[in-house]
Structure 1
Amino acid sequence: MRFTEREMTEGLTGAAKLVAARGKADKKDEVWDGLTRFQRYQLLDSLGTQVLATLVALPDVDVEIGTRPTFTDAQVTEAVEGTLGDVGRLKRKMQLAARVALVKTVLEHVPPRQDPDALIIPDHL
């Protein structure tokens, strides 16, 4: 299973909304709507730099239609460790913990897998 562009975008946007609201899930849409387009871009760019390589490094898993991909804590931690880069030992522990939490948040916001053969017309069309 590889993430689609839509899955990565929605996962990253969901995590960015939560980060912008400083973890207050009930305020995330309100805070997000209050940001300018440039502020949203800056936040998405910063988070994307931290997690996109990790999402690509996660192992392939089978994902049933209508479900989200799931990974063990060990799989996420291993993928993060492989993409973290060189940092000091103490700093590495803190960054590893923070990055693992961020990747898990992104994964929670990945939408359920859709049937690639189903014709779905978005409401806005």
Structure 2
Amino acid sequence: MRLTEHELTVALTGAAKTVLASSRRGRKRGADIDQTWDEMDRFKRFKLLDGIGTQIFPVLTDLPDTDVPVGGRPSFSEEEIKASVERQLDDDIGRLRRAVVVKTRVTLVQAALSHVPPRVEGDLRQDG
């Protein structure tokens, strides 16, 4: 799947905020997730973004290219995402761990895709 740098950045940040909101810290505080995000220091945000990015970027780039109309967002079935996740995994992990990793990464990729902004005119244009 071809995504712009802006789309990838927004998708990754959205997925990170989703993970943060579901963490013990996010649930316990009950605070606005954007405020919690802003209160985090840059290194903590980097560590969270890096950890999630290493899991979802290979999957996002492995998804099939689709034509996304202006104003639309890319969408994929759970089976397409799951197949892409499974292609990225090594064979040296056990069945149970593999099942957990696949389910978690599919959920992360779905969260990232839900945060991709609508496509605007000129995104991914091919110049000559």
Query: Scaled by the length of structure 2, what TM-score is found?
Result: 0.85
1:116 equivalent to 2:88? Answer no
Bigger RCO (CA 8 Å, 6+ sep): 2
Which consecutive residues of structure 1, in runs of 5 or more, have no partner in the other structure? 118-125
- Tell me whether 12-21 or 47-56 shows the greater mean CA deviation: 12-21
**Cα distance in structure 2, aligned partners of 1:26 and 1:12:** 21
Partner residue of 1:90? 96
Aligned length: 117
Report the TM-score, using the length of structure 1 for normalisation: 0.87
CA distance in 2, matches of 1:41, 1:65: 31
Aligned to 1:64: 69
Q: Secondary structure at the match of 2:32?
A: helix
| Aligned-pair identity (%) | 47
From 30, 35, 38, the equivalent of 1:33 is 38
Q: CA RMSD in A?
A: 1.8
For structure 2, which runs of at least 5 residues remain unmatched after alignment?
124-128
TM-fit CA distance, 1:27 = 2.6
